[in-house]
Amino acid sequence: MKDLPFIRKDIKRPDPELVRRASRFQAAILADVGGRRGTLDGSIQSRVPGVKVAGPAFTVEVRPGDNLMFHAALALAQPGDVIVVEGKGDLTAALCGTIMVTQAQAIGLAGFVVDAATRDTQEIAVGTFPVFSAGTNPNGPTKSLGGRINWPVTLAGTTINPGDLIVGDDDGVVVVPQENIEQILLLAEQKVQAEAARIAEIGKGNVGAPWLADALVKAGVLKQGDVL
């Protein structure tokens, strides 16, 4: 039996038009219509306030504190890709900083999502390249340990497959499975319209939540017919 390749160069990516459409939505909207699943937990935070990321996942698995395979991913990823690094949540060393961000921008990548530490925090924060990470650390990484590229990875409680759609903003990061993107986008548009209608009603003075009484009855804290 042949050895399985550590590096998979070719992945299926979603249609760029779907990525463009997805970029219009908040991560929270996509998470809600996706069944309140697929989000990375709150440890993964944006390092560039107000900047959003949307693009296909180019996945990388590294050993804790080592960014050799991250550099390999930079050499292979295509414009528009989001490099997603399974760094095991390790915060003892930063896996990227200003130099790698500058390289990624020059290539035309869409962003980084790193389940590990990053550094050069102030420089990154005033830039425009989306970087999401689990923390920061001034310590640099080693560059000597092997890993895998474009295999399924698990970051902050969520499995990500190569080519899945990544959308992130100041709230965090959501993963949309590639096979569900079109359906999720249709549901997202419906939710945006419903929320806009609700906000308009509040603006007219209809401040009550019409669903609340029934929910409280179902939860057992009110009896049928009781009111708050």
**Are the CB atoms for 100 and 23 separated by under 8 Å?**
no
pLDDT at 1 over 50: no
Whole-number Å distance between alpha carbons of 66 and 45:
21
**Are the CB atoms for 104 and 82 separated by under 8 Å?**
no
**Among candidate residues 171, 193, 163, the one with its CA nearest the CA of residue 18:** 163
Convert the pLDDT of each residue in 147-166 to its tens digit.
999 999 999 999 999 999 99
pLDDT at residue number 210: 82
Residue 165 neighbours by CB under 8 Å, 6+ apart: 14, 18, 19, 22, 54, 55, 56, 57, 175, 176, 177, 178, 181
Domains assigned to the chain? 16-185 (3.50.30.40)
pTM of the predicted protein model: 0.93
Convert the pLDDT of each residue in 165-213 to its tens digit.
999 999 999 999 999 999 999 999 999 999 999 899 899 998 888 889 8
Grouping H, G, I as helix, E, B as strand and the rest as coil, residue 7 is strand
pLDDT at 20 over 50: yes
* C-beta neighbour count of 182 within 10 angstroms: 13
Looking at the DSSP assignment, which residues form a beta bridge with residue 173? 168
> Which DSSP category does 184 fall into?
H
